[in-house]
Amino acid sequence: MDSKYEPLFTPWKVGNVEIKNRIVMVPMEGTNMIQWEAKTGYVKGIEEFYRDRKDNNIGLFIPGLIPLISIVGEKWVYKHPEVFEPVKPVIEEIHQSGAKIFFQLSAGAGRSMILPTLLKPFVKKGVLKTLSSKVIMSKWWWSAPDPDEPNVWDPDVKMDLFTSEMISQFIYAFGQTAKLCKDAGVDGVEIHAVHEGYLLDQFAMQYTNHRDDAYGGSLENRLRFACEIVKEIKKVCGDDFPVSLRYSVCSMTRGFNQGAVPGEIFDEVGRSMAESEKAIKILEEAGYDLFNCDNGTYDAWYWAHPPVYAPLNINLSYVEHIKQFTSKPVVCAGRMQPDAAAESIAAGRIDAMGVGRQLLCDPEFITKIKEDRIADIRPCIACHGACLPFNGMNGKGTDIDPMHPDMGRCVLNPWTNNEKKYSKAPAKNPKRIAIVGGGIAGMEAAIQASLRGHSVTLYEKSDKLGGVFNAAAAMSFKEKDKALLEWYKRQLENSGAEVRMQTEITDLSSLDADIVIVAIGAHARTLNIPGAERAVTATDFLNGDVQVGDNVGIIGGGLTGCEIAYELALQGKHPFIVEMTDYLVGARGICMANSTMLRELLRFHEVPAYLNATAESITDDSLVINTAEGRKTIPADSVILSVGYTPDKHFEPADKKKKTASPQFFFIGDCDKVGSLKTVVKQAYELVQKISYA
């Protein structure tokens, strides 16, 4: 192990509980052991998820949250101790590995609750509130500290008042539920949270709490709910039972659904650093033993769930600062890198590194650091494509695609949270497999097939592996995408697959194989408008094949077009976007954290966007567009087309529909149907499963 990582592997204490190293797996959706939202009970199969990680040098596990009361039916978890029985063997296995485990308990979401938005399309206005409160969703999930504050996902949705009587019931429930956790064998609990704009955070912040009772007004009053919770737990479970708090150091919030971006000077409406310095002292005095820290609220969601546009170690300086105001240990999460964390721990500026999505992407992350196998770590690219696929579509949050089956999974590692669905066993009948195309789909299929014992030959017509992902990874803020390409190349090299570069296949039937997998990608679309030949495609620009001027028009305000605009702004150029819909980055499948941060960065860099607009023509020095206000001529030295892709059908239809026993033909990736990295990887992975075990 490189000596710079040694501080990560030193022991530390939370209260009287000693933890073997400084690695904390922070709570995430999909890592819950007890699911208490829409159903009651233990999450079947979750033990396989933890078995992949318990022997991989994680010091402290904090699984996904346990709501104190169910969304449906108002079932209090403390009244159902039987649901803790199935988790005891999993807890014991974690303890046998030398690790510790805290269970996270939640008071709920308040105005950040998404369910009202999901119900809205199915009920009439005026009926929604009654139906949700009495039939579908309990009052506990429909209530907030201040009913005048609109729902995050839909400003038209109003919440009910979270009453002082409800607070008292919750405080009691926290103590009783913590006791069940302790009796089940967990080493401590974490309270969720004065964090991310959830219910307790809404009580804590002045802009979401305008109460005039004992739980509103002064900072002490606004923190009273959180303080009374820890006091109740200590009373029931004992002073030596550790209680952690998930804590947002700063809110990074400009206003309703308005977040700040790194480096921006703004007026904080939530918890400022000056207030946080006071708050953490009050919370420590109340009895909290650990602060599990990051930043943000649901109005600035990307601070708590930093996407690819967020700097690495985005929250570290904030957490290092707040540690100076508490004697208790602090954990820092948010795109944390092990070298930066180790340095900060060694200097006493933080106590532990919080790791989330990287452990979904690669369960052996910490083991590979310890064993000096850094190059073998599959890097998390902060895409949120499967771990947190909450979509906000139209700027108001009224069209959401949340909580689908991929929650808590990983775009790059389909095995995660599918351990019961997939197999890693040797293939039943190994085949000779030819793969045409060395992009992500082709490489993924080659690696997975080789690992299962198939004989694989991959053909790539160019001198570079990676396909269109080389362009996607080219932008300056995509260092992890570049690392992913190198990881794929290394894994392919080590897989045993034969790779033939600069070998173009023109006839699939000439391949000596049992199975032929075609993964030749897609072509960039163009526009049929005057002057289109003057434009360059997004792929050509990103690959460095062409240079652009200072004023750059980008036709297409989807993900790629907006990323290019951001990249050009970082270079000091002056891009503008022309988008035919009324919304930037509006496609399904893009997490709200990613799309919102990208839009906020474009705002911060003052990138103009012409919405509901179409391109009419391109001249030598301008882009002519049609808008609702009429025709506009905008100066443009260069124009970039980012209007999507069409599948490469070079080998269709004859080969795709050929009905022969051998070889079998399969088309995957963008040549089958243009999709995303998620669809490409999953399709390749599942095809190998089908070939290997059918």
Catalytic residue positions? Answer: 198
Q: In the chain, what's the furthest Cα-to-Cα distance?
A: 80
Report whether 381 contacts 47 (CB < 8 A): no
Give residue for tokens 């297409």. Answer: 556
Report whether 338 contacts 374 (CB < 8 A): no
Which of helix, strand or coil describes residue 169? helix
Interior angle at CA 165, CA 161 and CA 171, nearest 5? 110
Say how far apart CA 447 and CA 444 lie, in whole Å: 5
Helices (H), 85-127: 88-96, 115-119
Say how far apart CA 378 and CA 58 lie, in whole Å: 17
SS3 content of the chain, % helix, strand, coil (to 5): 35, 20, 45
The residue among 445, 476, 452 whose CA lies nearest residue 681 is 445
**Torsions phi, psi of 169, nearest 5?**
-65, -40
Structure tokens belonging to residue 594: 């990613």
Structure tokens belonging to residue 533: 């030949």
The pairing of strands 622-627 and 614-618 is antiparallel
Give residue for tokens 């052996």. Answer: 364
According to DSSP, the residues that pair with 667 across neighbouring strands are: 518
Structure tokens belonging to residue 629: 């206000």
Q: Could you give the strand order of the β-sheet that contains 664-667, starting from the edge strand earlier in sequence? A: 498-501, 455-460, 432-436, 515-518, 664-667
Kindly give, in sequence order, each residue whose CB lies less than 8 Å from that of residue 318, ignoring residues fewer than 6 positions away.
249, 250, 273, 293, 295
Kindly give, in sequence order, each residue whose CB lies less than 8 Å from that of residue 662, ignoring residues fewer than 6 positions away.
514
Structure tokens belonging to residue 553: 């028009």
Report whether 293 contacts 271 (CB < 8 A): no
